[in-house]
Amino acid sequence: MKDLQNTLLINNISELLENARKEVVVAVNQTIVLTYFEIGRMIFEDKQNGENRAEYGKNLLNDLSIHLTEKFGRGFSASNLQQMKQFYLTYSNSQTLSMNLQKRISQTVSTKSQNTDNQSPTSTKTPKSFTLSWSHYLKLMRIKDLNERKFHEIESSKNNWSLRELQRQYDSGLYTRLSLSKSPHEILKLAEQGQVIENPKDAIKDPYILEFLGLQENSNYSESDLEQILIDKLEHFLLELGTGFTFVSRQQRISFDEKHFRIDLVFYNRILKSFVLIDLKIGELKHQDIGQMQMYVNYYDREIKLDNENKTVGIILCQDKSESLVKYTLPENNEQIFASKYLTVLPSKEDFIKILENN
């Protein structure tokens, strides 16, 4: 009994310390980003006294770099200072900072500037509460489309994406894939709120990008091979599936009338509150594949799901499909079964545009 109590105490303290460390990291990141934003503002608003703009700016950054590096060490090269200025210009025009953060910046970062200029440094153009690391914002600033940039910023923060995952989601055209079938109003909502899942269609992508599997485009592999690699790379696959997905089982057996069938992969989406069944198909999708998935979905709805859960969703992942075949095999009001292509190699920008245009 004493050993159990000690174990519980150790676990509770460990959890407390882990959470504290995470909060410290977040606080440090936010302070760094806010500080860089303010440095960028100071550089931008520095008076030129009639000197040539380009030449003055170059000399200013070089001079600042020398002095700041001597006093604070690495991280203040002329190019880094230019990035801070660009960061201010990028985020000052479209974001609004809470009063508490305005007070924090003005008190902890720019007190001297306030005294000399007699003006609050954040009185006209201020950022929002930054939640990502400086490295994330360096990447985000390179995304030219404002809506796409805002979407990736929201999703990075919401899903705690690493910089590597942010880069991957951008390279895989996540924003474009999600906005394909949306109206202008829905695309704007995507940029303002990120991916909001209100119905099964919101959670579906077409195509799914599975470049993390390491399979070559024309390599020979079976459906069981594909399934095994997806299980081996389950963490990556969950990130590609999107928000709210949890793994339930593989090769789930269902039986009736002395016949046995196996569902390749079973997931549960906590937001949709429904099971999500995935069937893997090598080659072109056939109408029999859709019929089989319909059977799986019907079985789960009638035998597995609870009364307080929503209808089961079925996704058929295939290498190729005929949109007409899918259209005429499924009912017009279909909201449960979806057929999506998957790619095992990250396409070039030009190839990706062609793929999306053909969907």
For 159-183, the pLDDT digits (tens) are 889 999 999 999 988 998 888 767 7
**CATH of region 198-358, choose from 3.40.720.10, 3.40.50.1100, 3.40.1350.10, 3.40.50.170:** 3.40.1350.10
Task: Tell me the pLDDT of the chain averaged across its residues.
Answer: 84
Distance CA(295)–CA(262), nearest Å, equals: 11
Distance CA(237)–CA(226), nearest Å, equals: 12
Q: Mind listing the pLDDT tens digit for each residue in 133-158?
A: 999 999 999 999 999 999 999 999 98
Q: Grade residue 99 by pLDDT with cuts at 50, 70 and 90.
A: very low
Token pair recorded at residue 158? 């919401």
| Better pLDDT: 236 or 55 | 236
Is the separation of the CB atoms in 205 and 178 below 8 Å?
Answer: yes
Closest CA to 318 of 345, 351, 279: 279
Distance CA(29)–CA(292), nearest Å, equals: 50
pTM of the full structure: 0.74
State the residue for tokens 């072109």: 284
Is pLDDT above 50 for 129?
yes
Distance CA(342)–CA(317), nearest Å, equals: 6
What mean pLDDT comes out for the span 280-298? Answer: 94
Closest CA to 210 of 182, 195, 232, 180: 232
Q: Grade residue 113 by pLDDT with cuts at 50, 70 and 90.
A: very low
